[in-house]
Amino acid sequence: MTLRRRLTMLAVTIAAVPLAVGGCTADRDPSGKGHAAPPELTVTPGDKAREVPVSAEVGTAVKGGRVTGVKLTDDKGKQVKAEPREDGSGWVPSTPLQPKRTYTAEVTATGDSGATTTRTSTFTTMAKSTKPQITSTLYFVGNRTYGTAMPVTVAFDPGIPKEARADVQRRLFVKTNPPQPGAWSWLEDGSQVYYRAPDFWRPGTTISVRAGLQGLPIGKDKIGDAERTATSKIGKQVALEIDNDTKQMTVLRDGKQVRRIPVSLGKPSTPTSSGKMVIMEKHERTTFDTRGEPDGGYVVDVDDAQRLTWGGEFIHSAPWSEGDQGSTNVSHGCTNVAATAADWLMGVTQVGDLVTVKGTEVELQAGNGWTAWNVSWDEFIRGSALPVPAGLRPAPVAPAHPGAVAGGSPAPAPSVSGR
């Protein structure tokens, strides 16, 4: 089977002795020509290994050839589906292995001359772990249509420590069709990791995601919690640009302006954030409850609300401020628009659209929303725990106004507060 992984991936290290097979030289034939030596093959987990994590992969290393066959079966003789890593360093089971079960891996390597080496390794997985789990949330739901700025986001509670991020990142897989490779980038505190390509997703792209973290050892005393998968598509281009100087929102589709909408942003005491944000969720009607917040204390029902940050910044209908829209900032940080405009926007935008705000008193903070686009590509890839291919760069001429029409909401988010 062919794997179109778009992430440089390595085999998970298993605490077991590998099984190494050295090449040997056959006797020479009467003609004086020597037979080619078979390739050297190393397989992990090693034969008779025990207490193997259920996140284990079949690791393969070949000298003088390449792997041409891998077969993994359980102790009942049932074959386990697996896919090869792009770098050929291992085969990843399509689902986690079962605890306290015995598996057999049969690996064949073929040398350049055609000589082959086949070795078998039988190993037993550990019992179900009692270590504390790190909770993961995949903010990418299946069977949806997302905007072209939609990053694949995985959140962790508690955050992943730096020394464990490479192991976790190796178990995060993204596949795109047509191919559009990208990279992962971690927030400094390890609470979120984003995946995106150097440029915005092309409309019509299918994205398949797997967070294969169930049973994965994370550091010395924790494990991953679950296996999560999703496949969705990317829709048409739509973007919103909000300028505090003009108090106007420009709506663009395929890079062309389709409408300008007057706005009222956050007043000086509660300013709106400037930066590149992504629409995270949409509500036809919701309640903003800011009781207990320093600048809050109110409860109000709002229509046509679109979340931009975890901190409670939304675009939403605000009929009470229509007299100020286009001239004065009066909100608690949200982008206020007229009721008719908010209703129209709900039919145009969707989760994953890019929203750019400029000219306000404060800058968007990393991690306050899905902030993968609020940094340059060079800064983004510095957050990867694994090497990023040097040739993975943005196109010389980026689209003038990226964004997209999409559909649906991501996985459950924190409670709505509104500002």
Say which range, 34-43, 241-250, 311-320, has the weakest mean pLDDT.
Answer: 34-43
DSSP assignment letter at 221: T
Asked if residue 114 lies in contact with residue 37, where contact means CB atoms within 8 angstroms, the answer is: no
Extended strands (E) in 18-170: 19-21, 40-44, 58-63, 65-74, 82-84, 90-93, 102-111, 116-124, 133-139, 145-146, 152-157
Q: pLDDT tens digit string along 357-414?
A: 999 999 999 999 999 999 999 999 999 999 999 999 999 864 555 544 333 333 333 4
Residue 19 is predicted with a pLDDT of: 36
Q: pLDDT tens digit string along 326-364?
A: 999 999 999 999 999 999 999 999 999 999 999 999 999
Is the pLDDT confidence value at 20 over 50?
A: no
pLDDT band for position 295 (cuts 50, 70, 90): low
> Greater confidence, 249 or 26?
249
Closest Cα partner for 57 from 65, 414, 67?
Answer: 67
Which whole number is the average pLDDT over 270-299? 88
Q: pLDDT tens digit string along 192-216?
A: 999 999 999 999 999 999 999 999 9
Sheet with strand 362-363: strands edge to edge: 256-262, 248-253, 238-243, 354-358, 273-278, 362-363
Q: pLDDT tens digit string along 144-201?
A: 999 999 999 999 999 999 999 999 999 999 999 999 999 999 999 999 999 999 999 9
Say which range, 37-41, 54-58, 105-109, has the weakest mean pLDDT.
Answer: 37-41
Could you list the active site residues?
316, 334
Closest Cα partner for 210 from 247, 237, 172?
Answer: 172
Which whole number is the average pLDDT over 62-71? 94
Residue 418 is predicted with a pLDDT of: 62
Which whole number is the average pLDDT over 302-314? 97
Count of positions (residues) in the chain: 419
Tokens of 252: 């663009």
